[in-house]
Structure 1
Amino acid sequence: MNHAELVISYARTHCDRVAVQMDGSALTYGELAASSEALAIGLQQAGIGLGDRIMMFAENSIECLVLYHAVARIGAVFTPVHVSFRVQELAYAISNARPKLIVTTTDQLDVLDMGLNETGHDARIVLLNGTGAPGAGQTRYSDLFSRSGSCVPVDVSPKHPLLISYTSGTTSLPKPVLRSHGAETWSAQSYQKAWGFESGDRLLVAMSLSWVYGLCSLCQSAFAAGATVVLEPKFSPTRTLALIEAGQVTAFAGTMSMYAMMLNILEERPFDTSSLRKAFLGGEPRNEVAVEKIEARLGLRLCEGWAMTESFPVLAVHPTRDRQAPVACLGRVVPGVELRLVDGNGQDVADGEPGEAWVKGPGDFLEYSDEPELTDARRTSSGWVRSGDLLRRGDDGYYIFVTRQSEIIIRGGVNISPVEVESAICAHADIADAVVVGLPDSVLGEIVAALVITRSDKPLDAEAITAFVSERIARFKVPAKLFRVESIPAGTTGKKNRTEARKIATLLEAEAVQVGVHKF
């Protein structure tokens, strides 16, 4: 088998259908297959072979998808890293992957040079842009393409490595998740069925292709359906809504934070979103109030899913088959996947009780590349992948997200889910968004604190917000500290960065400031 067959097989019968478009450029399925083949030949001529690592350090582009499928053809390993990676993170990825080639842009060269100097690693640099002559050890991306010959995809084992995804770490260096041809192909085909992607879909992908959500869960699943990927360099709520209004997008997938930003725009000005047929939510816990409002605005249910870089898909809500699914559920288990909810002793919990999700399925990762201790900590001796997320299963077979174990606030020995508190705060008409964290307390262990964004520059009325929230959740969960900020700190994936939020709240608490606008 070979993951590249995902595109090649569809190109044989539908070569003229558009596979991907970005700004004014586009590739049909036939052109995507031909371009990846020409690049694969060029990579082989450059000495790249089975198991060699090819790194990409650049913004989203059509070239990224061409390169991914070219790398797959020859049995090499694709290792994308996010453009926000600084020297320490980049140096780790370079020393871990030891790439032979690094594809990048001229504006990333300074950071890349520092990362290479930090590790002492020597790699050939391939430039996607630039007008001058390439420097020593550099090659133009366009010069790698061969204009003759053929490259039949290498027949590899389903367990053959294909991708290293460097997950975004907030308390440690990124983890190098090594995924295989078999896992990637199964995952794409399973997501296509679980989320109902069809050939007529035009799926907007504004997620970074350095993460599996954008590259795999969305792009590869769209390719499995013969759909069109409408690729964006980065997420813009206004541009996303404009593309939907122009009829260029029929399907969209985003995190809770992305939908919250779209909602803020929609509350300021109208957009015609009637062309949107499917909307998907994942990657971040939901804000129930924001979900209700965005669903009303779009006239669609946000179909959720739950998975992790180490194993996907696991749970999903299908746009048509699950129309009667309970509100706020993550869906049912995807066929072929096993899911257990366990307590702290690894024993299964009863339906209705929260437990850590353990997963086993064809979409599981191989290992953390060259990090055996990390791998052993994540995977049990019997092969289950520990998620670190607490879920609850209903009698109907649908699952509900509870919280992440690492984010639980323990106040006086009682566990508090920050997601529940955020939903209660955001129900207030004056609040646009919030992030909740725990702060150290000498008596209670931790107290609840919240960074909030108010609507239309309204002042923060801490007493009114506290009274409002107290009517919705237990008093011990109500934030003891409220801080008004201009924006919520987010990680490179767009998710709320609670580690950074905790630092900001700690700083503001030390300054004894709870009113006013705070920049960071």
Structure 2
Amino acid sequence: MADPAPLDPAKTAAAAFKLLAENPMFKVGEAEIRGAAYRVFENAPKSLAGLFAASAVTHGEKEFLIFEDERISFAELWRRACRLANALHDELGVKQGDKVALAMRNYPEWCVSYMAVIALGAVVVPLNAWWKEEELHYGLQDCGAKIVIADKKRLDYIAPLKDELGLTLVLAREEGGADYRYEDLIAGAKSDAAPDVDIHPDDDFCIVYTSGSTGHPKGVVLTHRGAISTLFSWSFVAAVLKEVRGGVSPFGDDPGILLAIPLFHVTGSHSIFLLSYMVGRRMAMMYRWDPKEAANIINREKLTNFVGVPSQSFELMQAVGPEGLPSLIDIGSGGAKRPAEHVKKLAKKFEYGKPSSGYGLSETNALGCVISQGDYLARPDSTGRPVPPVTDIKIMNEAGEEVPRGEAGEIWIKSPANFRGYHNLPEDTAKSITPDGWFRTGDLGKMDKEDYLYIVDRIKDVIIRGGENISCLEVENRVYEHGDVAEAVVFSVPDEVMGERVGLVVYPKDGMSIDVEDLRRFIAEDLAEFKVPERIWISPSKLPRLGTAKFDKITVRKIALQHPPALSV
């Protein structure tokens, strides 16, 4: 099958203008949000709860969620969510505005709990399921959630914090160690009708934690309008593509997608779960990533879409058998930049499934840019154009001036999908959001004359390993707790599969020696596994510093990468 040609800009523009003029779903107006003017979807539902209720009616008993031998329809998922919402309100006293944390891996119960909290007008806090006790303690203390819905492994980490933080624990799927069982709450609920709450579009619905350059993850506060703006924007792009391609939908004739990334990230919750529930796309859920099993599920369920971090599509390509993946028509990536060489290999490997990519952040409800089909094959280094019709992107210099096309600068994004702020961090919020509503991403990029964005670097001291953001400072802080370490620098190590891995250079205290295996075990005691350094170097001398007395990370990284590490895992 020949590679698809790039889309005709004139036909694409004509299709977009037609939809904006004729389809009331995509009617664009203007609204003031937190003191700034934004383009918005005028006819969008007021809240995610309204969107859930409408989708449950539209798609009814059609199969939605597939997990192992479980199959749940659109309507049944919403019924369960409403039952849990009513039980949380009646039994546990959860009310509008309260925070409820989710601490579990990918299970159907995650989706039901997420929807239930939202249906109450409460704020859901999806905690990173790879976090350990110290990280979970920080997240729970920071967000202030007093109720936690968890699976058994996360419950075991959280239970010792119960008295200190005043927690009420709900356990899903298993028994023992919690105040309530998820299953009992649903079974004992008085009604499966949606709670009667008045939710404003700009009310908070979620706090999602993301690692920035600070020593602790930041709580990104998202609103109902923000998430719905993202979902409507993606739906608009899909409708434009369908129009341009003569009625061929990018979701396929019988849409189905594999959920193989964590739901606690916006790529999982928004790009896959929420979008699928809105547009009527089946979703096959994996508890744990396994590329061979992923290929089996795609073929067994005849799934049409795949979205994962770049390493997953690379591993999927390697794992697939001679039968290929004939039902797959789109292989998307998010969370990190996909290497250009992977784009070419994917296009050659799969007869029908073509690569696509997107750029967005937790702070933008995952909305930003998108690129697919022939456009992506022609520009594999690009992350695409700004998603129409309510998103604007510009490239700015340090003086706050827009730079000429082709020059690099910081990427600024403005759309109604932008977050409200960082939880409990007013100074960080003020630095990141301008008075007129632009979000300063901390990513460096450039834009060509055709509006294609290219990510070139990042300002933030962050490593992106397989789509997971890792704060270098957080890892360094843990390293310094080891009694033999005098100096430490954490940095990214390029990797073909994961994109980046965590590198560490340490210099021991006078008279001390460092056992790298012991050091790595020590770091892993408190940090999630994905944050633990995989390449460790021992420096024979003190680490170089800049005139500001800070470590010269660029030089340290450059020298380290020229020599084999003392430890490589």
**Within 2, Cα distance between the matches of 1:55 and 1:98?**
9
Q: Say which of 296, 305, 310 aligns to 1:256.
A: 310
Cα 1:256–1:407 shift into 2, 3 Å: farther
1:434-449 aligned within 5 A:
435=500
Q: Which residue of 2 aligns with 1:412?
A: none
Find out whether 1:74 has 2:120 as its counterpart: yes
Q: Which residue of 2 aligns with 1:308?
A: 361
Find out whether 1:89 has 2:135 as its counterpart: yes
In structure 1, give the amino acid aligned to 2:198: D
Deviations, residues 299-340 of structure 1 (Å, cap 9, x unaligned): 3331111111001311112558x5786333212111201111
**Within 2, Cα distance between the matches of 1:142 and 1:110?**
19
Q: Say which of 330, 352, 357 aligns to 2:383.
A: 330
2:360 partner SS = strand
Q: Which residue of 1 aligns with 2:174?
A: 130
Cα 1:199–1:221 shift into 2, 3 Å: farther
Q: Say which of 323, 347, 371 aligns to 2:401.
A: 347
Find out whether 1:58 has 2:101 as its counterpart: no
Cα 1:100–1:394 shift into 2, 3 Å: same
Cα 1:515–1:374 shift into 2, 3 Å: closer
Find out whether 1:167 has 2:202 as its counterpart: no
Q: Which residue of 1 aligns with 2:158?
A: 112
1:331 touches 1:398 (CA, 8 Å); kept in 2?
A: yes
Find out whether 1:140 has 2:181 as its counterpart: yes
Deviation at 1:13, TM superposition (A): 3.0
Q: Which residue of 2 aligns with 1:24?
A: 69
Cα 1:197–1:59 shift into 2, 3 Å: same
Q: Say which of 417, 432, 435 aligns to 1:381.
A: 435
Compare 150-159 and 174-183 and name the one that shifted more: 150-159
Deviation at 1:261, TM superposition (A): 2.2
In structure 1, give the amino acid aligned to 2:347: E
Q: Which residue of 1 aligns with 2:537?
A: 506
Q: Which residue of 2 aligns with 1:466?
A: none
1:263 touches 1:290 (CA, 8 Å); kept in 2?
A: no
Cα 1:263–1:278 shift into 2, 3 Å: closer
Percent identity among equivalent residues? 25
1:506 partner SS = strand
**Within 1, Cα distance between the matches of 2:155 and 2:501?**
37
Q: Which residue of 2 aligns with 1:13?
A: 58
Cα 1:239–1:338 shift into 2, 3 Å: same
Q: Which residue of 2 aligns with 1:98?
A: 144
**Within 1, Cα distance between the matches of 2:53 and 2:107?**
20
Compare 383-392 and 311-320 and name the one that shifted more: 311-320
Deviations, residues 260-280 of structure 1 (Å, cap 9, x unaligned): 3223435xx535211101111
Compare 285-294 and 343-352 and name the one that shifted more: 285-294
Q: Which residue of 2 aligns with 1:369?
A: 423
Cα 1:437–1:355 shift into 2, 3 Å: farther
**Within 2, Cα distance between the matches of 1:512 and 1:260?**
24
2:86 touches 2:195 (CA, 8 Å); kept in 1?
A: no
Cα 1:84–1:439 shift into 2, 3 Å: closer
**Within 2, Cα distance between the matches of 1:509 and 1:225?**
58
1:198 touches 1:225 (CA, 8 Å); kept in 2?
A: no
Higher relative contact order (CA 8 A, sep 6+): 2
2:211 touches 2:218 (CA, 8 Å); kept in 1?
A: yes
**Within 1, Cα distance between the matches of 2:538 and 2:107?**
39
Q: Which residue of 2 aligns with 1:44?
A: 89
**Within 2, Cα distance between the matches of 1:391 and 1:188?**
25
In structure 1, give the amino acid aligned to 2:210: T
Instruction: Report how many aligned residue pairs link the two structures.
Output: 444
Find out whether 1:273 has 2:334 as its counterpart: no
**Within 2, Cα distance between the matches of 1:221 and 1:66?**
15
Find out whether 1:181 has 2:224 as its counterpart: yes
Q: Which residue of 1 aligns with 2:473?
A: none
Compare 223-232 and 396-405 and name the one that shifted more: 396-405
**Within 2, Cα distance between the matches of 1:251 and 1:422?**
28
2:102 touches 2:150 (CA, 8 Å); kept in 1?
A: yes
Find out whether 1:33 has 2:86 as its counterpart: no
Deviations, residues 467-520 of structure 1 (Å, cap 9, x unaligned): xxxxxxxxxxxxxxxxxxxxxx9xx999x86x835xx24348899995699544
**Within 2, Cα distance between the matches of 1:509 and 1:296?**
46
Listed as ranges, the gaps of 5+ residues in structure 1 are 410-417, 427-431, 442-488
1:220-259 aligned within 5 A:
220-259=274-313
Deviation at 1:126, TM superposition (A): 0.4
Cα 1:13–1:351 shift into 2, 3 Å: same
In structure 2, give the amino acid aligned to 1:23: E
TM-score normalized by the length of structure 2: 0.71
In structure 2, give the amino acid aligned to 1:402: V
2:383 partner SS = strand
**Within 2, Cα distance between the matches of 1:177 and 1:211?**
11
**Within 1, Cα distance between the matches of 2:104 and 2:429?**
28
1:187 partner SS = helix
**Within 1, Cα distance between the matches of 2:55 and 2:222?**
23
1:355-504 aligned within 5 A:
355-406=409-460, 422=494, 435=500, 500=533, 504=535
1:329 partner SS = coil
In structure 1, give the amino acid aligned to 2:55: Y
1:189 touches 1:224 (CA, 8 Å); kept in 2?
A: no
1:313 partner SS = coil
Compare 357-366 and 166-175 and name the one that shifted more: 166-175
**Within 1, Cα distance between the matches of 2:503 and 2:151?**
40
Deviations, residues 103-158 of structure 1 (Å, cap 9, x unaligned): 112232331023446xx211211011324xx55x6101012121436334522111
1:363 partner SS = coil
In structure 1, give the amino acid aligned to 2:341: V
Cα 1:301–1:362 shift into 2, 3 Å: same
1:41 touches 1:149 (CA, 8 Å); kept in 2?
A: yes
Q: Which residue of 1 aligns with 2:236?
A: 193
Listed as ranges, the gaps of 5+ residues in structure 2 are 1-45, 239-249, 464-490, 507-523, 542-559
In structure 2, give the amino acid aligned to 1:219: F
In structure 2, give the amino acid aligned to 1:303: S
2:174 partner SS = coil
2:405 touches 2:447 (CA, 8 Å); kept in 1?
A: yes
1:359 touches 1:385 (CA, 8 Å); kept in 2?
A: yes
**Within 1, Cα distance between the matches of 2:253 and 2:230?**
18
